[in-house]
Amino acid sequence: MTDPIQTIISALTLLGLGGILGGYITYLLDKKKEREFKVLEQKEKRYKSCLLYMDAFFEPKNIKYLSSRQPDIDDVKDIIEYLKMEYHEMILYASKDVIFSVKEFIENPVRDNFLKTILTMRQDLSAKRNDLDLNDIILEVKSKS
């Protein structure tokens, strides 16, 4: 039979190592969550900025709302240049689909590509997949007569 003191020492040793190992694993998981949160936060910031530029491309009168961020934006060409800067920054962390979607918009800035980019960004930020389509998000603006 084993000595009871030896059994107790063995149990305490295992508990100590288990506690240290458990603490280390918890630390690593917390660090991973923190990093994922920072990436998500960065995506949200960049995506919102990108969408504001795209919107101003179609509504040049909205350039005035961007002037507080970038006072040197005067016209649609400036908007595309700022959008290119956003594109290059998002290459670091955006999903492949978002990168391709923004690239497609820059190369061919039409409303359908804008709406597709919105949906792609939404899918990248959310656990929901394909819960909207283009027809769901098109604004039907009626002009005042």
Domain-embedded: residue 28: no
Nearest residue to 103 via CA among 129, 83, 82, 119: 83
Query: How confident is the model over 17-31, as a mean pLDDT?
Result: 75
The pLDDT assigned to 30 comes to 85
Range of the domain at 62: 37-137
- Residue 100 has a pLDDT of 95
CA–CA gap between residue 62 and residue 29 (Å, rounded): 43
pLDDT of residue 26: 80
Structural domain contains residue 30 = no
In a domain, 17, yes or no: no
The pLDDT-based confidence of 88 (bands split at 50, 70, 90) is very high
Using N-to-C axis directions, what is the helix angle for 111-125 and 96-107, rounded to 10°? 160
- For residue 31, being part of any structural domain is answered with no
pTM: 0.70
pLDDT over 70 at 140, yes or no: no
Q: Does some domain include residue 8?
A: no
Q: Is residue 16 in some structural domain?
A: no
In a domain, 19, yes or no: no
